[in-house]
A and B are shown apart, each in its own frame.
Chain A
Amino acid sequence: MKAPAERANNKIVLDGVQLAIINKRLETICTKMANTLLRTGRSGVLNSARDFSCVIVTAEDELLCVNEVLPIHVLSGPDIMSRTMKEFHPNLKRGDAYLHNSPYHGNSHPADHTILVPVIDDDGVHHFTVLAKAHQADCGNSIPTTYMASARDVYHEGALIFPAVKVQENYKNVDDIIRMCQMRFRVPEQWWGDFLATLGSARIGERELQVLAEDVGWETLHTFARQWFDYSEQRMKAALRKMPAGRSTATTKHDPFPGAPDGIPVKVTVDVSPDKPMIEVDLRDNPDTYPCGLNLSEACARTAAMIGVFNSIDPTVPPNAGSSRRIQVHLREGSCVGIPRHPTSCSVATTNLADRVGNATARAIAELAEGYGMASTGCILPPSTGVISGCDPRTDKLFVNQLFVGWGGGAAAPHTDAWLSVGHIGNSGLSYQDSIELNELRFPIRFRRRLCIVDSGGAGRTKGGEGFYVEFGPIDCEMAVAYTSDGNINAPEGVRGGLSGGAARQYTRDLEGNLQEVDACTQVVLNPRENIVSISCGGGGYGSPLERDARRVAMDVLEGWVSAEKARSRYGVVLNEDTTVDETATKILRRTIKSTRSAAPSD
C-alpha cells in the first residue's frame, strides 16, 4: 500500500452545488450498501429488522458519510476500527476484507460483526474505507443470546472476538476463518448467508466508490471530504452558538441486574460554551466496570453521549468527523461507561447502559433551557425484542434469532410528541419492526397480542410514546427467550415537568391463563403452549402536562391513547360525554392541580 497522495497540493475548490451532489452520491452509496444487507441477509435481525449500518471513512480514519444508520453503531467507533485495521495490517491490498467485532479495538459489541474493505486504486493508493456493520443472530456466546448481561467477563460470555482479522485476500475467502466461524456460531448456514450479505454490502460500497472516482476523480473526493468536514463544523458551531451557556448534570440509574445487584447509577455532566463554541460531556464520575455484560465499549460510551447531543441540536447538522470536532466526550479508563479493559464483558454495550447515558445527556441539555434536549426514550430489551432459540418441530432444524416485534417508547421532544416506534435512543427508530406473519412462517411461534398500552406514554406538554404489550409463545416445542429488560424499576424519565413513561414488566402465562412475573434479565424456557407477556417502557414527557392543549388531550382520549381518568389526573382535562373538552371544569381543575403539584410533579 502506498501512502495517500499529497493532498496539500490539491487546488480543487468545490462550490455549494458540487458539495451537495457529491454528498448525495456518497449517501446513495451507503443506501445501496444498506439495501444489499437488507435484501440479501438471511437472519431476521438483518432482513426484517434492519439492525445494521453502513458508513464510509477516509483513509485518515475520519467518519465521512453516514446515511440512515443506527446512531449507536457509528458516531464513534468506525474511526478506531479503521485505525486498528491499518495498525494490524500495514500493507493493505486491493481485494482485502477484514472482520472486526472487538469492543476493545473500536467496535460496539461482539455481536456487531463489521466488515471493513479498504478502497484502493490501480496504483495501490488507499483512499477510503467502507464499513458494513451487521448485528448477528448469534455470535457464539455461551448461551443463545447476543446480549449476555449475566456474563462475568468475555470468557464467560464466550463470543469469538475478531480484532480486524483478514477474511478475504484478493477477493477470495480465507477459509480457515470461515471454518472457525462455522464451528462456533449457532445455525451456521444462517451465519454464512449473513456473512455473505455483509461482505456483499462492503463490496458494493467499494465498487460504487470506484465508479464515483472514475466520474469525478479521487482528488475531487479528497477535496470534498476536507470541505465537507469544514462545512459540517461550521454548521455545528452555528448550532452551538444558539444554545444557552451553562453546565447541567443529570443522573439516572440502570435497574439491578445479575452482576450489579444494586443497579448502576449514571451521572452525566454537560457543559455548553456557545462562545468557543464547544459542547463537553463528562462521563468520568461514574462507577468502575461491573462483572456483567452491561459495561460500555469505548465506541458506545462516546457515541451514546454524542447521540444525546445530536438529538438536541438542529437536525440538519451533518453527523461526521467535522461536526464532531465541536463535541468533547470525557471518558475514564476502567469505568463502566468509559474505556473497558480486556477481559471486561461489553456484551450488551449498545443498549442498556448506553441508553441511560444518551438519555441523561439529552435531559441534562433540556434542563439548561426550555426548547432544548429531550425526555428519556424507553429502556430495553424487553422479551418482545429478545433472542429466541430452539428446534423447529416442522423441520427438525435449530433456529436462533432476535425478535423486533414491539417496542415503542419514543421520547417527547420540546415541540413534538414522541415518534412512537423509536425502540431505544441508540437506534432512533430506524430499525424496522417484524411482521407477525413473517415470524410465524419462519419460526414455530404464535403472537397472541401486540398492541400499544393506554396511558403508558409519559404525560407532558408533549407526550412520550406508548409502551407495547406483546404476548407470544412456541408451537409444539420448547423455546428459549433471552432478554435484558431495563426500566422495570427506573422508568424512563420525563423532563421539565413532564412525567415518566410506563415501566416495563414481563410475565409467563401458563395453560390455565395464570400470569407469573419473571425476572427482568434472564433466559426463560417456554413450554409448548406457554406464553410470555412482554410489556415495554413508554417514553418520558416534555414540559408540564397541564400545559398540553386540552383539545389534543381530548383527541388522545378519543383515539384511546389516554384514558378519561388519566386525562383528569395527569393532564387536568375534564371531558364531556361526547369527548369534547369541558372548558370551565378544565380551567378550574388545572388551577387546583398546579397549586398542589408545584412542590413535586407526580402521577
Chain B
Amino acid sequence: MKFAVDTGGTFTDLVVQGDNSDIRLYKSATTPDDPAAGVLATFELAARDIGIDRAELLDRGDMFIYGTTRSTNAIVTGTTAKTAFLTTDGHPDILVIREGGKTEPFNFTMPYPKPYVPRSLTFEVPERLAYDGAVVEPLDEMVVIAHIRTIERMGVEAVAVCFLWSMVNPIHELRVAQLLKEHLPGVPYTLSHVLNPSLREYRRASSACIDASLKPLLGAHLRDLESRLREAGFHGRVLMITSQGGVMEAMDMARTPIHSVNSGPAMAPVAGRFYAEADAASDTVVVTDTGGTTFDVSLVRKGRIPWTRETWIGQPYLGDMTGFPSVDVKSIGAGGGSIAWVDEGGLLHVGPQSAGAVPGPVCYGQGGIEPTVTDAAVVVGYIDPGYFLGGAMALDKEAVVNTIRTRVAERLDLMVEEAAAAVLNVMSENMVHAIEDITVNQGIDPRNAVLVGGGGAAGLNAAAIARRLGCRLAVIPDVAAALSAAGALMSDLRAEFSTTQFTTSDGFDFDSINGVLQILEGKCREFIEGPGADSKDQAIEFTAEARYPHQIWEIEIPVRDSRFSTEADVAELVETFHATHDDMFAISDPGSPIEIVSWRANVRCGLRDRAAAWSVVESDSAASPPLSRRCYFSDIGTVDAPVLRLESMARNVVVEGPALIESSFTTLVIEPGATAVRRATGSLIITPAS
C-alpha cells in the first residue's frame, strides 16, 4: 500500500493506493497550526472508511509521499525565519544587484524588488579566494565572531553563508560553520557550496538564503510529522515531493528545504497529462488545480511536463531566483476560500485574500465572517449545505445568505442570488486570465487545448472556464479532488545526480570521465535499491552539459553509453552536440571542438504496473441527495436542476445542463447548454456551452 498526501492551504488530500492499484481519496481540513494533525486526521478518515484501525492502515503502507505548500506560503506571506547573510567583504549587495535585468522596458511603475535578506541583516566577512580556490585573503575569524554576537543580539533565527568561489574551495565556509556551531548553537545555517555548488554568486547566495530561511519552519514540521507517523504505526519510507517533480527522503528535505518550494503543485501536470491522453487523446493540456486558497495552472505541450531552468519565486526579475530548475506551475490567489469584497468605488473583487482553513468560509460556522466563493456557491444552490464533503460537514446556510446579502448584494444593489453568481463569475475571470497568461504567452491558442480540472473546487466553474476559453472539452478525472497527490503516485520515482568534470572533445580525459560516470551510475543503483526497491521497472539515462569554447550557457545532450572507450565514442558525442545546437539555435560550428562541463545521470523507477487498472474505488454512500435542487444561473434565473450522484452515473450517457453532479468531494456544475458524459475511465467529460 502507498500513501500520497498533499497539504494545501485549506485542505489536506490523501490518496491511498492499494496493492491492486485501487485508489481511494480522502480530504480533510488543513490544520495550519499543527499540519501533522491534519495529516493524521485524514488517515483516521481513511481507516474508518476501509473499516480498519488507523494503526493497522498505517502499518500496511510501505511508502508515504508528501507534498506541501508550506514553504511557498511562508515566503509569500513573509513568515520565514529572520535570516542573516554572511558574504565576502566588499560584496554586500549581491542580493540587491542580483543579475540585473528588467521586464517591460518602458514601465517604471514597478518598485525595485527588496533583497531576500535585508541589507541590515547582511554582514561582510574579510576573506577572499581566487577563481582557482587559492586563498587570497585569509578568513578573519575575529570579525566572524563579532558578527555572530551581533546576529545573536538581533534575534536572528537562521544564517546563510555564501563566499565568492566557495564551491571551488569551501575552506572558509566550513570554518564559519564551525564558528556558528560553537558560538550560535541551535541556530540552523546553510552553506552555499553544500547546497548548490554552482558558478554565479547571486544564484548560489539566493539559494542559500532561501534555504536557511525555511529551515526552522520546515525542519521542525518534517521531524514532527515523521515521528508522529511512526508513533501512529507507520513503518515505511517517508518521501517528499520536490519542486523538480522528484522525491527525496523527508529528512534530506529537512536539511535542504529549498527543494520543497512549489512542491505541492508539481505533480498535478503528471496526472493532467495522463487523463488528457486517456480521456481526450490530446497532448496539449491546460492543467488546473483549484484548492481552497490557490489556483495552480500549468501547460503540458506535446505531452511534455513544463519545466523551467531558472525558477523564480514570484515574477521574473521581481521575485527571487531559487538557483534550481523546477516544474513550471503558475499560482494565483483564487479558490473556494477566496474572499469576495466590494471596494469604495462599488467594484466587486474576489481574492487574492483567502479565509483559508481557519476560520474558513462563513458556511463552515467556525467563526468566518467574510463571504467566500464557497459561500456564494451555497447561496446559488450549487453546494448542498446538508451534503458538503459527503455530509461530513454540515453547513449553516442562513448565516451565509445574510453575509452575502449585507457584504456583497446590498453594496452592489443586487438580489442575493445575483450577487453570489457575480462572485463566481469574477473568480472564473481571474482564473481565465491566469490561464491565458501562460497559454497566450507561449503562443498556444487555448481553443486547441483540453482543460483538465483538478482540486476540490474545480467542479464549480470548470465548465464556465472551458466555455470562456473556448476549449473543446473539460476533463474532470475521478481523482480530481486530489490531483496532485494522485500525480505523485502515478509518477515515477526519479532522482538526478550530477558532477562537474570539465573536459574538451580535443583532449578528452577518458579516465576521469569514465570515473565520474561510474560514480553517477553507482548513485543511481543505490537509488534503485533504496527508494526504488519495490519498483516495477527502472531506467538510467546519462546526459552531458556541453558548449562551444567561449560560450557560457551549456545545452544538454544525451550520452548513449555509460562509458567512453574510443575516440569514435567522443566523435559521436560531438556530432550529437552539433546536431542539437543546430536544432535549437539554427546554427552549429562543425569545425569547432566542444567543452563538456558537467555530467548528469537520471534514474527513474516506475512504481505502477502500467498495465494495471487505475481507478477510484467508489464507496456507496449512505447519504443520498435529493433528486433535484433549486439553483440560480445567471442566464436563466432560478430553476430546479437535476442532481446526480457521480458514483451511480451510467457510463457513456449524455447529461444535459443545467444539472449538478455530486461526489463526496466536489460538486460539478453543468451549465445550461453544456453536456457531460462519464467515461469508462471514471472521468467526467464536459462539452462546454458554445
Name the contact of A448 in the complex, choosing from B90, B105, B108 (C-beta under 8 A).
B90
Q: In the complex, what's the smallest C-beta–C-beta distance from B22 to chain A, in angstroms?
A: 43
Given A204-B586, A558-B120, A559-B120: A436 touches B91 (CB 8 Å cut-off)? yes
Does the CB pair B112–A433 fall under 8 Å? Answer: no
Q: In the complex, what's the smallest C-beta–C-beta distance from B183 to chain A, in angstroms?
A: 25
- B441 interface residue, CB < 8 Å from A? yes
Given A20-B440, A428-B106: A204 touches B585 (CB 8 Å cut-off)? yes
- B119 interface residue, CB < 8 Å from A? yes
Which one of A34-42, A248-256, A338-346, A507-515 is at the interface? Answer: A34-42
Name the contact of A21 in the complex, choosing from B101, B119, B440 (C-beta under 8 A).
B440
Given A200-B586, A315-B104: A436 touches B112 (CB 8 Å cut-off)? no
Within 8 A of B (CB), among A403-438: 404, 406, 410-411, 413, 415-423, 428-433, 435-438
CB-CB under 8 A from A40, the residues of chain B are 548, 551, 553, 581, 585, 587
B167 and chain A: residue at smallest CB distance: A437
Inter-chain CA distance A406–B100, complex, in Å, is 9
B552 and chain A: residue at smallest CB distance: A47
Inter-chain CA distance A43–B552, complex, in Å, is 9
Does the CB pair A39–B555 fall under 8 Å? Answer: yes
- A203 interface residue, CB < 8 Å from B? yes
Does the CB pair A310–B119 fall under 8 Å? Answer: no
Inter-chain CA distance A411–B108, complex, in Å, is 9
Inter-chain CA distance A446–B164, complex, in Å, is 11
Inter-chain CA distance A299–B551, complex, in Å, is 31
Given A47-B552, A560-B119: A418 touches B112 (CB 8 Å cut-off)? yes
Does the CB pair A430–B108 fall under 8 Å? Answer: no
Does the CB pair A438–B587 fall under 8 Å? Answer: no
Given A40-B585, A200-B586, A432-B101: A416 touches B136 (CB 8 Å cut-off)? no
Inter-chain CA distance A324–B318, complex, in Å, is 29
Does the CB pair A430–B105 fall under 8 Å? Answer: yes
- A190 interface residue, CB < 8 Å from B? yes
Inter-chain CA distance A189–B550, complex, in Å, is 9
- A450 interface residue, CB < 8 Å from B? yes
Does the CB pair B101–A50 fall under 8 Å? Answer: yes
Does the CB pair A435–B99 fall under 8 Å? Answer: yes
Given A207-B586, A435-B200: A421 touches B106 (CB 8 Å cut-off)? no
Inter-chain CA distance A365–B120, complex, in Å, is 37
CB-CB under 8 A from B199, the residues of chain A are 435, 437-438, 441
Inter-chain CA distance A48–B585, complex, in Å, is 17
Given A200-B585, A432-B100: A440 touches B106 (CB 8 Å cut-off)? no
Q: In the complex, what's the smallest C-beta–C-beta distance from B469 to chain A, in angstroms?
A: 10
CB-CB under 8 A from A190, the residues of chain B are 550
Residue with the highest number of chain A CB atoms closer than 10 Å, among B92, B107, B443: B443
A428 and chain B: residue at smallest CB distance: B105
Which one of A65-73, A79-87, A519-527 is at the interface? Answer: A65-73
Does the CB pair A203–B587 fall under 8 Å? Answer: yes
Inter-chain CA distance A558–B102, complex, in Å, is 26
- A2 interface residue, CB < 8 Å from B? no
Q: Please, how many residues of chain A have a CB less than 8 angstroms from a CB on the other chain?
A: 82
Inter-chain CA distance A458–B30, complex, in Å, is 49
- B118 interface residue, CB < 8 Å from A? yes
Does the CB pair B587–A199 fall under 8 Å? Answer: yes
Inter-chain CA distance A201–B585, complex, in Å, is 7
Name the contact of B120 in the complex, choosing from A21, A451, A560 (C-beta under 8 A).
A560
Does the CB pair B589–A465 fall under 8 Å? Answer: no
Q: Mark A463-481, 1 if CB is under 8 A from B, else 0.
A: 0010010010001000000
- B93 interface residue, CB < 8 Å from A? yes
- B445 interface residue, CB < 8 Å from A? yes
State the majority secondary structure of interface residues on B. Answer: loop
Does the CB pair B99–A432 fall under 8 Å? Answer: yes
What is the count of residue pairs linking A and B with beta-carbon distances less than 8 angstroms?
Answer: 184
B102 and chain A: residue at smallest CB distance: A429
Within 8 A of A (CB), among B156-194: 164-165
B591 and chain A: residue at smallest CB distance: A192
Inter-chain CA distance A113–B455, complex, in Å, is 52
Within 8 A of A (CB), among B248-263: none
Q: In the complex, what's the smallest C-beta–C-beta distance from B166 to chain A, in angstroms?
A: 10
Name the contact of B550 in the complex, choosing from A20, A43, A406 (C-beta under 8 A).
A43
- A293 interface residue, CB < 8 Å from B? no
CB-CB under 8 A from B552, the residues of chain A are 44, 47-48, 438, 442
A426 and chain B: residue at smallest CB distance: B105
CB-CB under 8 A from B445, the residues of chain A are 21
Does the CB pair B100–A437 fall under 8 Å? Answer: no
Inter-chain CA distance A319–B106, complex, in Å, is 9
Residue with the highest number of chain B CB atoms closer than 10 Å, among A48, A71, A319, A437: A437
Does the CB pair A47–B587 fall under 8 Å? Answer: no
Does the CB pair A410–B112 fall under 8 Å? Answer: yes
- B130 interface residue, CB < 8 Å from A? yes
CB-CB under 8 A from B155, the residues of chain A are none
- B384 interface residue, CB < 8 Å from A? no
Does the CB pair B586–A417 fall under 8 Å? Answer: no
Residue with the highest number of chain B CB atoms closer than 10 Å, among A416, A435, A447, A558: A435
- A196 interface residue, CB < 8 Å from B? yes
Q: Mark B112-136, 1 if CB is under 8 A from A, else 0.
A: 1000001110000000001100001
Does the CB pair A24–B440 fall under 8 Å? Answer: yes
Name the contact of A416 in the complex, choosing from B90, B111, B441 (C-beta under 8 A).
B111
Does the CB pair A435–B106 fall under 8 Å? Answer: no
CB-CB under 8 A from B98, the residues of chain A are 421, 433
CB-CB under 8 A from B440, the residues of chain A are 20-21, 24
CB-CB under 8 A from B109, the residues of chain A are 315, 413, 415-416
A38 and chain B: residue at smallest CB distance: B553
A445 and chain B: residue at smallest CB distance: B131
Inter-chain CA distance A50–B102, complex, in Å, is 11
CB-CB under 8 A from A448, the residues of chain B are 90
Residue with the highest number of chain A CB atoms closer than 10 Å, among B112, B164, B165: B112
Q: Mark B457-481, 1 if CB is under 8 A from A, else 0.
A: 0000000000000000000000000
Within 8 A of B (CB), among A368-418: 374, 404, 406, 410-411, 413, 415-418
Name the contact of B105 in the complex, choosing from A38, A47, A71 (C-beta under 8 A).
A71
Name the contact of A436 in the complex, choosing from B96, B110, B164, B550 (C-beta under 8 A).
B164
- B26 interface residue, CB < 8 Å from A? no
A411 and chain B: residue at smallest CB distance: B108
- B211 interface residue, CB < 8 Å from A? no
Within 8 A of A (CB), among B8-60: none
Does the CB pair A193–B550 fall under 8 Å? Answer: yes
- B76 interface residue, CB < 8 Å from A? no
- B143 interface residue, CB < 8 Å from A? no
CB-CB under 8 A from A192, the residues of chain B are 589
Inter-chain CA distance A207–B165, complex, in Å, is 41
Residue with the highest number of chain A CB atoms closer than 10 Å, among B108, B109, B112, B586: B108
Q: In the complex, what's the smallest C-beta–C-beta distance from A557 to chain B, in angstroms?
A: 10
Q: Mark A558-595, 1 if CB is under 8 A from B, else 0.
A: 11110000000000000000000000000000000000
Name the contact of A437 in the complex, choosing from B110, B118, B201, B585 (C-beta under 8 A).
B201
Q: In the complex, what's the smallest C-beta–C-beta distance from B228 to chain A, in angstroms?
A: 41
Within 8 A of A (CB), among B263-299: none
CB-CB under 8 A from B201, the residues of chain A are 435-437
Inter-chain CA distance A70–B104, complex, in Å, is 10
Contacts A428-B102, A438-B199 known; 14 new A-B pairs at CB < 8 A: A36-B584, A40-B551, A44-B552, A189-B550, A203-B587, A311-B108, A411-B108, A421-B101, A429-B102, A433-B97, A437-B164, A437-B201, A468-B97, A471-B90
Could you name 10 residue pairs across A and B whose Cβ atoms are closer than 8 Å? Answer: A24-B440, A43-B550, A193-B589, A311-B108, A416-B109, A416-B110, A420-B97, A423-B100, A435-B199, A435-B200
Residues of A bordering B, CB below 8 Å: 20-21, 24-25, 28, 36, 38-44, 47-48, 50, 68-71, 189-190, 192-193, 196-197, 199-201, 203-204, 207, 307, 310-311, 313, 315-316, 319, 374, 404, 406, 410-411, 413, 415-423, 428-433, 435-438, 440-442, 446-452, 465, 468, 471, 475, 558-561
Give me the 4 closest cross-chain CB pairs, A-B, nearest first. A200-B587, A42-B550, A315-B107, A433-B100
